[in-house]
Structure 1
Amino acid sequence: MTSTEYDPRELLAQTGIGVLATIRSSGLPQLSPVTHHYDRATDSIYVSMTDGRAKTRNLRRDPRAALEVTGPDGYTWATAEGEVSLIGPGTDPYGPEVEALVDYYRKAAGEHPDWDEYRSVMVSDRRVLMVMRVTHVYGAKLR
Structure 2
Amino acid sequence: MDIDEALAFARSGRESVLTTIRRDGRPQLSNVLHHVGEDGTIAISTTAGRAKVKNVAREPWTALHVNGSSFFSYAVLEGTASVTEPASSPDDEVADALVDLYRALAGEHEDWDAYRRAMVEERRVVLTITPTQAYGMADLPRASGT
**TM-score, L = length of structure 2:** 0.88
Partner of 2:25: 27
How far does residue 60 in structure 1 lie from its aligned partner after superposition?
0.9
Q: CA deviation at 1:135?
A: 1.2
The percent of aligned pairs where both chains have the same amino acid is 42
- 4+ residue stretches of structure 1 with deviation over 2 A? 7-10
**Which residue is 2:42 aligned to?**
45
Task: Provide, for residues 93-126 of structure 1, a one-character-per-residue CA deviation record: whole Å limited to 9, x for no partner.
Answer: 1111111111111222221111011101111111
How far the C-alpha of 1:8 sits from its partner, in A, is 2.7
Offset, 1:19: 0.3
Q: Per residue, is there more strand in 1 or in 2?
A: 1
Q: Which amino acid aligns with 1:27?
A: G
> What residue ranges of structure 2 are gaps of 5+ in the alignment?
142-146
1:54-81: CA deviation from partner (whole Å, max 9, x where unpaired): 1111011111101001113222100001
Show the counterpart of 1:4.
none
**What displacement does 1:88 show?**
2.3
Who is 1:75 aligned against? 72
Q: RMSD of aligned C-alpha atoms?
A: 1.4
Aligned residues: 137
Aligned pair partner of 1:87 in 73, 84, 100: 84
Which stretches in structure 1 are left out of the alignment for 5+ residues? 2-6
* SS of equivalent to 1:90: coil
The one-letter code matched in structure 1 to 2:113 is D
- Structure 1 CA distance, aligned partners of 2:71 and 2:115? 34
Task: Report what 2:34 is aligned to.
Answer: 36
Say which SS state the counterpart of residue 110 (structure 2) adopts: coil
